[in-house]
Amino acid sequence: MRIATWNVNSVNARLPTVLDWFSEAQPDVACLQEIKCVDEKFPREAFEDLGYNVETHGQKTYNGVALLSKFPLSDVRRGLPGDDSDDQARYIEALVEAPAPVRVASIYLPNGNPLGTEKFDYKLAWFERLRLHASDLLTHEEAVALCGDFNVIPTPEDAKNPEAWVTDALFQPESREAFRALKWLGFADSHELGDEPAGTWTFWDYQAGAWRRDHGIRIDFALLSALAADRFRGIETHRDARDMEKPSDHVPVVVDLDPEPPAWSMR
């Protein structure tokens, strides 16, 4: 099973590019972020024509997340629990009913800039709500994949030029600590499982020639619960997507899981 995560930075603005990538990469499941449209404006038919079931949690102009799957999707959750007043479309989750099911979430974590404002407080509060919900998911003994743009640079090694990010919300000690707390629940970073090389970035800003100079950061992740990590086969970060026509500033990250659970778990 191929699970992809990609911040597409407006699905309608980049639809030909996104569809070209889907046709070539053929993910079984895709988690999209920053679709930047309400549900009714999502190009559902274009993906259904490629064989995908589509679930969205959209928002006009900003944010928005989607799940696309060649398998049926059930038990769909739109929005992260813990704050009924939060109207930002940043989280969608569903059970992928493959022969060996996986619960998958598409996550667009708040950016948090500028520091010293309610935006950074919102980021940390959202992170804590995610941690609490992820902890609850682990009690159900399902394979779980938390995928998306987490808007955090976990370590200095996750940036080409970490000094450039020291005053940014993505690289603050509180942001990095929140990410570690999520992982310590029992989630494995697919990048580490697959031993991807240093310099495997997932985002290059449109400004200041970041792509040309390879001034990238790694902020897009596929975090796997133990039952999902047991099925891990490999990971590929599709760097070439950043060089496509009218690209997103992020690139897809694709994780391959064994379609069947390990034999020991079936005894």
Q: pLDDT tens digits for 243-253?
A: 999 999 999 99
pLDDT at 260: 80
Residue 75 Rama label (left phi>0; alpha psi -120 to 50; beta): left
Confidence band for 267, pLDDT divided at 50, 70 and 90: very low
Going by the annotation, the residues of the binding site are: 7, 34, 149, 151, 249-250
Give the dihedral sign, CA 14/106/152/219.
negative
263: pLDDT strictly greater than 80: no
Question: What residue type is 231 in one-letter code?
Answer: R
Coil/strand/helix, residue 173 = helix
199: pLDDT strictly greater than 70: yes
Query: How many CA within 13 A on the CB side of residue 246?
Result: 13
pLDDT at 265: 54
Confidence band for 261, pLDDT divided at 50, 70 and 90: confident
Q: What's the rounded mean pLDDT across residues 232-253?
A: 98
264: pLDDT strictly greater than 70: no
The CATH code belonging to domain 2-262 is 3.60.10.10
108: pLDDT strictly greater than 80: yes
262: pLDDT strictly greater than 90: no
% of the chain surpassing 90 pLDDT: 96
Does this model's pTM top 0.85? My answer is yes
Confidence band for 31, pLDDT divided at 50, 70 and 90: very high
CB 234 within 8 A of CB 256: yes
Question: Average per-residue pLDDT in the chain?
Answer: 96
Question: What residue type is 84 in one-letter code?
Answer: D
Q: Give catalytic residue positions.
A: 108, 149, 250
Q: What's the rounded mean pLDDT across residues 65-89?
A: 98
CB 170 within 8 A of CB 122: no
CB 99 within 8 A of CB 260: yes
Every domain of the chain and the residues it spans: 2-262
Going by the annotation, the residues of the binding site for Mg(2+) are: 7, 34, 149, 151, 249-250
CB 66 within 8 A of CB 11: yes
266: pLDDT strictly greater than 90: no
